[in-house]
A and B are shown apart, each in its own frame.
Chain A
């Protein structure tokens, strides 16, 4: 028992001190950790579920779940990835309960036979004015609007990669999928985003 405690203490020695204090039940540390991640976690959930009220609710549930399971948190894991994976799982549960569906649903990127369309068919031909438009107009708002049209699994991989600046390995850990799936999702998400942008905002021909 003493040996286990010593090993546990050694395992936690590399972990952020605030998280260690939060695990011990320090309310100030809890506030500090929630404050540190609040905007990122909320944004991630909002990108996934698209509804502020649901994101708000899932945010609170995430922290309840975190505190419930912090005793079982493996200190060798990155806390951030663990936190986001808790939120991911709650979002998956939310989708299942709501639609009898899952976050992994790709219905909206499949063709009429249910098969994923080849990338070349979904991707409009490249043109120089796509870049110009991207740079000229309200790029952020346009992209955000088009991103909202993507399936949840694609929104998730985009927000984790570009907004949270996570490595592909971390994304794989959060979403609980293999690295190769992260890469293929990322590529499909970018292609879908570009297709959506070029459909919503058709190229102006001179």
Chain B
């Protein structure tokens, strides 16, 4: 490729301000001595100039307000989801603590024996099974209640 051809390839980029350093210097030198490339550069510069002045479509009215409302609503939903998860965890922990404390108290007051339907409920194994079932039932009820509340909130929004 001749020097003229290789410089011609750079003209569009030069007009777009995308050349610098050595390529820009070489192009400047070439354009000074080459009327064809000088003319071509003028044409590309006109395109660049025109592109900088394209009709500017503005954002639709209310787009900002709608976007802001959507973002804030999404944040509120996410915050509530986090709060619900936290509450669920805290409630489960609370239930375990109460269950364990109750087991200790029961052991003290019953002297370690509370037989119901042939099973000694104060024994650790039986108590663990019973309290686990109670905790899971409580957690499921809480989750259902929270889910219902969330659905109601979403409907209200």
Contacts and interface: CB of A to CB of B under 8 A. Distances in A.
B59 A25 contact: no
Contacts of A144: 54-55
A191 B67 contact: no
A140 B39 CA distance: 21
Contact of A140 (B15, B53, B60): B53
Given A56-B63, A64-B70, A183-B18, A126 B40 contact: yes
Contacts of A130: 43
* Range for the number of chain A residues in contact with chain B: 35 or more
Size bracket of the B interface: 35 or more
B47 to A, nearest CB: 6
A190 B44 CA distance: 8
A46 B12 contact: no
Contacts of A141: 55
B64 A35 contact: yes
Interface stretch (A10-18, A36-44, A76-84, A101-109): A36-44
Contacts of B57: 42-43, 46
A168 B18 contact: yes
B56 A162 contact: no
B59 A128 contact: no
Interface in A127-165: 128, 130-131, 134-135, 139-141, 143-144, 147, 158, 161-163, 165
